Amino acid sequence: MSAVPGSVADETMLETGSTTDIVGYRLRRAQLSVFQRFLSAFEALDLRPAEYSALALIGDNPGRKQTEIAEILGIKRANFVALINGLEARGLTERRAAHGDRRANALYLTEEGAGFVEKARAVQDDFEADCIARLGGTDARDTLLDLLGRLC
């Protein structure tokens, strides 16, 4: 990424430091890189990041309303409809009547969805292990999550 001290000057080298050595830029590049690898890792399962998050969250919190799940994930409820429609069409989730509120849908994993999430979690565990290895260990990962949390 940056010039190596002592290396032969490349005549096509651009001066990039003042543009790229800033938090926002590096954050964007790192996020795009990680999401790219996530897509590759989950290609066999045909699952995008937001879909994985929704399935995992529903699995840990069965019976919650659509709007609750969507809000936690930072997805507008209007945009969450198509996402959950896709998961439902694949037989992974289902909408059931919510207790005491006939407007709301309670979300659950189907039996097939529960099995699918198990496989997805295994893929995610491998993916996270790869991230940790790149970072240099679990301490480095914890440091990163802490620093990222301070930016929110």
Which residue ranges make up the site for DNA (CB under 7 A)? 32, 48-50, 65-67, 74-79, 81, 84-85, 95, 98, 100-105
DSSP labels, 133-151: HHHTSHHHHHHHHHHHHHT
- The SS3 call for residue 101 is strand
Q: Please choose which of DNA, its own copies, none residue 76 contacts, taking the beta carbon within 5 to 8 angstroms, the exact cut-off set by kind.
A: DNA
Residue 18 φ/ψ, nearest 5 degrees: -65, -20
* Closer CB to DNA, 15 or 46, in the complex: 46
State the nearest-atom distance from the C-beta of 56 to DNA, in Å: 16
Q: Which residues from 31-90 bind its own copies, rule CB under 8 A?
A: 31-35, 38, 49, 53, 56-57, 60-61, 64, 68, 72, 74
Q: Please choose which of DNA, its own copies, none residue 40 contacts, taking the beta carbon within 5 to 8 angstroms, the exact cut-off set by kind.
A: none
Q: What ranges make up the beta strands (E) of the chain? A: 93-98, 101-109
